[in-house]
Homo-oligomer: A and B are copies of this chain.
Amino acid sequence: MPIKSFLPALLLAATSLSFARPGTALADEGMWTFDHLPKAQLEKAYHFKPSAEWISHVVQSSARLAAGCSASFVSGDGLVMTNHHCANACLSALSDKSHDYFSNGFFSSGVAQEPQCPGMELDRLDGITDVTAQVAQATQGKHDAAYTQAMQEVESRLTKECVHNDGAHWRCDFVTLYHGGQTALYRYRRYQDVRMVMAPEQNIAFFGGDPDNFNYPRYDIDLSMLRVFDNGKPVHTPFLQFDAKGPQAGDLVFTSGNPGRTQRSLPASALAFQRDISNPAIIAMLNSQEAALWQYSRESDAHRQEAENTLFHVQNSLKAYSGIEEALLTSGIVPKREQEDRALQGWIDADPARRKEYGQPYAKVDAAIAVQKQVFKNNLALTMLFHGIGENALVLVEGATQRAKPDAQRRAGFHEAELSEIEAELGARTPFHPELETMTLALGLTKMRQILGEDDSQVKLALGNATPDERAAELVKGTKLGDPAARLALWKGGQKAIAASTDPLIVLVRALHPSYEAMHKKLEDQVQNPMRQGQGDIARAQFARAKAENKLDALYPDATFSPRLSFGTVKGWNQDGKAIAPFTDFAGMYRHATGSDPFKLPQSWTEAKPRLTLSTHLDFVSTNDIVGGNSGSPVIDRAGHAVGLIFDGNLPSLAGDLYYDIETNRAVATDTSAIMAALRDVYHEDKLADELLHGHL
Q: Which A residues form the contact surface with B (CB < 8 A)?
A: 208, 210-212, 215, 275-277, 280, 283-284, 287-292, 294-296, 298-299, 322, 325-326, 329-330, 439, 442-443, 446, 449-450, 453-454, 463-467, 469-470, 592, 594-597, 599
Contacts and interface: CB of A to CB of B under 8 A. Distances in A.
5 contacts: A210-B450, A276-B329, A295-B295, A454-B599, A464-B594
A307 to B, nearest CB: 11
Contact of A465 (B443, B466, B470, B594): B594
Given A288-B294, A465-B595, A465-B596, 20 more contacts: A211-B450, A211-B453, A211-B454, A212-B454, A276-B330, A280-B280, A283-B284, A284-B284, A287-B291, A288-B288, A291-B295, A291-B443, A292-B292, A292-B294, A292-B295, A295-B296, A454-B599, A463-B596, A467-B596, A470-B596
A593 to B, nearest CB: 9
Contact of A469 (B298, B469, B470, B595): B298
A60 to B, nearest CB: 41
A113 B322 CA distance: 53
A595 B467 CA distance: 9
Nearest to A285: B287
Nearest to A467: B596
Contact of A322 (B284, B295, B330, B599): B284
A298 B276 CA distance: 32
Interface pairs A-B: 9 shortest CB-CB: A291-B291, A287-B287, A465-B594, A295-B295, A288-B291, A276-B329, A291-B292, A467-B596, A292-B295
Given A290-B291, A291-B295, A330-B276, A454 B208 contact: yes
A454 B208 CA distance: 9
A69 to B, nearest CB: 25
A442 B325 CA distance: 27
A302 B539 CA distance: 60
Q: Which of A287, A449, A450, A453 counts the most chain B CB atoms within 10 A?
A: A287
A465 B298 CA distance: 19
A455 to B, nearest CB: 8
Contacts of A329: 275-277, 280
Nearest to A460: B594
Contacts of A469: 298
Contacts of A210: 450
Contacts of A208: 454
| A275, A299, A454 interface centre (most CB from chain B within 10 Å) | A454
Contacts of A597: 467
Contact of A288 (B277, B287, B446): B287
Contacts of A330: 276-277
Contacts of A466: 594, 596
A496 B594 CA distance: 34
Contacts of A211: 449-450, 453-454
A212 B442 CA distance: 18
Nearest to A594: B465
A694 to B, nearest CB: 40
B298 A439 contact: yes
Contacts of A594: 464-466
A466 to B, nearest CB: 5
A467 to B, nearest CB: 4
A442 B280 contact: no
Contact of A453 (B215, B275, B289): B215
Contacts of A284: 283-284, 287, 322
B595 A295 contact: no
